[in-house]
Structures are given as C-alpha cells and as structure tokens.
Amino acid sequence: MEKLIITAAVVGSGPTKRMNQAVPYTPAEIAAEAVNCWRAGAAVAHIHVRHPQSGAPSMDVDLFQEVVSQIRTECDMLINLTTSGLDLQGEDVIEQRLAPVTLTPDLCSLDIGSVNFYERAFVNPPAWGVLAAERMRAVGVKPEIEVFDTGHIAQAQSLIDDGLIETPPYFQLCMGVGWGIKATPEHLRFMHSQLPPGAIWSVLGIGQAQLPMNRMGIQLGGHVRVGFEDNLYLEKGVLAKSNAQFVERIVSLAGEMGRQVASPVEARHILGLPRAD
Ligand code: ZN
C-alpha cells in the first residue's frame, strides 16, 4: 500500500489556550509546533494564523508569511495554508480568504460546499469554489478539497469536469464537523465510495473520532490528518501536551498496521507536486 501522508493541523481557528494551554498563537509558536510534528513524522503542515496577543483567528498575510518562512528555514515539510476565513467580515471577504494563495504554498485548503457548524453557517457559495479553484490553478497551488458531506464531492467533480481542478484531485474527508456527515465507519465508507476514481484522499475526525477515523483511513489506503484543529485530547480527560504527540501515536499505529510513513519528498510525489528544488 502507498506510504501514509500525515498532515498536522496545528492550530485551526477554534481552539484557544483556555481549552488547552499548548495551543499555539504567535507565528513562532505555530511554526515550532509544525516543525516538531515534522520531526515526529508529519509530511504536511496545515496552517491557520492567530492574532499573536488575543489568539483571535486572522487571515493576515504577513502572519502567514512569517510562519511559512520559519517552517521553510527549518525543514522541507509541505505547507498547506487555509482559505476558510470562517470569521471574516466586510466586502472583501473573498480576497481576504484568497490572500494565502498569493504566498504560493504547496497546497491550500478549498472548502467548496456550505455546512452548518452547530451555531453558525460556514457559507461557501458556488461562485466562491469556482474563483478559488481558478486562483489556485493559476499559481500552481494544489487544492486540498475539504468535503463535509457527500454532496460536496459531487460539487468538486463538477469543478474537475470543468478543468478548474487538475487530476488527480486531493480530498480531505472531514468527518464529524458540526451538522456535516457523521464520523462513523459507515459514513466514512460511503464517503470513500463516492470519490472519483484515482482521487487521493485523507481523513480527519473531530474530537474523540480523530483516532478511529485515522485508523480507518490507514486501513482503507487513505492518508490522515491529526492535530489541535480537530482534537485537543490524547484520550478521554487527558489533554495533549503538543501536536507532535498525535503524530507520534499515528506513526506507531501505522507501523503496527503495516503502513510506512511518507517523508515530505515522498508526499510530494504521491500528491503529484513538483519537486521542491
Ligand atoms: Zn483548517
């Protein structure tokens, strides 16, 4: 089976230091978490940024640039910048969301479909998906298509059919996020069955679903995402001390399950990205 790509989503936009003291806020803290995950075996860092003092979510491109520079100075892991911009307001929300694409990271997340997160809506109109895919394609950034339900896969297929997303597409199956698809084995099997032939895919599970969804992903030949963005606890009642602890656990689980872990260079090859040099 193909080697396993481990993505570390080290901060996200929701977790706070009040929930877990180890959640990073400053660019230096975020980059250090990512690099420690690389040391533990992660090939990709999925990055959000925060206002360094308050910890509030931010889409400030200078903060992204700081994180990217520090990671690239220290290691060769692939960088995946978010474009979710969940809390943004104003008339230029779309441009704020797309600002990280201008830094030409290896990957950018692309949320194409709308979904309700318990108390609020994550709105992604069809025109957003088209524009974001076009922008990423224009600068050679591969989209990591985040799908929260099966309909989002069909929507991605239409962008692939229109030539806006190049093949093979790379999907992140987001299981158990708000009122999106549930994080159960049945739901994951069904999501997997809906992917276009040849698609590359990874899976994340929220909270206590993180580990079982990861385990199934390893079994089914997918890749996995771990980290504070999705889960703050190593086990029930035990907060993780770092993102790297999640990566270490997955590396050891993959070993038990007979799956080797991909280096950044190997991940680049699997994802069909150009070589770094
Ligand atoms: Zn994210």
pLDDT, tens only, 125-149 = 999 999 999 999 999 999 999 999 9
CB atoms within 10 A of CB 120: 10
The two tokens of residue 65 are 């640039």
CA distance 128 to 143: 13
Burial of 53 (0-12, 13-18, 19+ CB in 10 A): exposed
Q: Is pLDDT of 259 > 70?
A: yes
Nearest partner of 16 among 50, 45, 46, judged by Cα: 50
Distance (Å) from CA 133 to ligand 1 centroid: 17
Q: Which residues pair with 205 in a beta bridge?
A: 175
Q: Residue 196 CA to chain centroid, in angstroms?
A: 20
Distance (Å) from CA 49 to ligand 1 centroid: 10
pTM here?
0.97
Q: Which residue has the higher pLDDT, 9 or 274?
A: 9
Distance (Å) from CA 138 to ligand 1 centroid: 22
- Say what the pLDDT of residue 277 is: 64
First to last CA, the chain: 27
Do you find a cis peptide bond into 168, omega within 30 degrees of 0? yes
- Say what the pLDDT of residue 234 is: 97
Tens digits of residue pLDDT in 24-62: 999 999 999 999 999 999 999 999 999 999 999 999 999
Distance (Å) from CA 276 to ligand 1 centroid: 23
In the structure, ligand 1 is a single-atom ion and the residues with CB under 5 Å from it are 82
CA distance 22 to 64: 20
Q: Residue 174 CA to chain centroid, in angstroms?
A: 9
The two tokens of residue 49 are 């940024």
Residues 4, 260 contacting (CB under 8 angstroms): yes
Distance (Å) from CA 84 to ligand 1 centroid: 7
Kindly report the average pLDDT of the chain as a whole number.
97
Distance (Å) from CA 231 to ligand 1 centroid: 12
Is beta strand 200-205 parallel, antiparallel or unpaired with respect to 44-47?
A: unpaired
Distance (Å) from CA 10 to ligand 1 centroid: 9
Residues 184, 164 contacting (CB under 8 angstroms): no
Residues 122, 95 contacting (CB under 8 angstroms): no
